[in-house]
Amino acid sequence: MTQEAWWASPSLWRKSAAWITGGSFVMLIFLTFDTMSYIQAGGKQVPGYSIINQRVDYQFDEAQNRYLPVIGPEEPLFGKMLTEEEAAALVSKGKLNTQAKNCMACHTLLGNGAYYAPDLTKSWLDPSWGSKEVREQQMIDFLMNPQDRLHNGLGRRMPNLGITEEEARATVAFLKWMSAINTLGFPHNFKAIDQSDAPAQN
């Protein structure tokens, strides 16, 4: 009887299969934890919720050749500094509102959703809110009564979704927080509202 070639032995293939399955499993666990460190609030790409206490800008980064969020000085939303817990509660309420009212039926959030209306990822930074001084109130007014106005020349109107002032404020907090997420340059070439401080008067 001729000797079987080493690579044709069933036991070799059985052992290889067991090692490869085991190795892949360990790799998968590692990648899961690694991904979590990027996508969790307070992680490498997603800021903690109290970021709504600060200025969020979006500037071109020469080294990475893409637009990236830039966190600036203290600039509390609605003029009120919030603790991490208060900010988390407000942002979470805003997120729940976007789910309850199904904004994704028309909009995209972080690129997910429908293409009828503008992407909301950087809506906080949209120059059509006018200026950074009036933006918060403009956003609340728009969310509560969007049917009255053509906001950014898209030619489509958003219907009134019965959003209360409290819900609108929470939604604005959610939108501000979302604009600070590092989306690796998405949406591409978005030009943010000018937020530089007025030059000192003298």
Interface ranges with ligand HEC (CB under 6 A): 97-98, 101-103, 105-107, 116-118, 120, 123, 126, 128, 143, 150-152, 154, 156-159, 161, 171
Q: Read off the tokens for 143.
A: 């969310």
Least Cβ distance, residue 129 to ligand HEC (angstroms): 7
3-state SS assignment for residue 59: strand
**Following DSSP, what letter does each residue of 17-41 receive, concatenated?**
HHHHHHHHHHHHHHHHHHHHHHHST
Nearer to ligand HEC among residue 71 and residue 154 (C-beta): 154
**Shortest Cβ distance from residue 185 to ligand HEC (Å)?**
18
Q: Which is nearer to ligand HEC, 10 or 162 (CB)?
A: 162
Residue number, 87 or 175, with CB nearest to ligand HEC: 175
Query: How many other CB atoms sit within 10 Å of the CB of residue 170?
Result: 22
CA distances 165 to 51, 97, 132, 140, 170, Å, are 22, 12, 20, 7, 9
Nearer to ligand HEC, 81 or 150 (CB): 150
CB of 38 to ligand HEC, least distance (A): 25
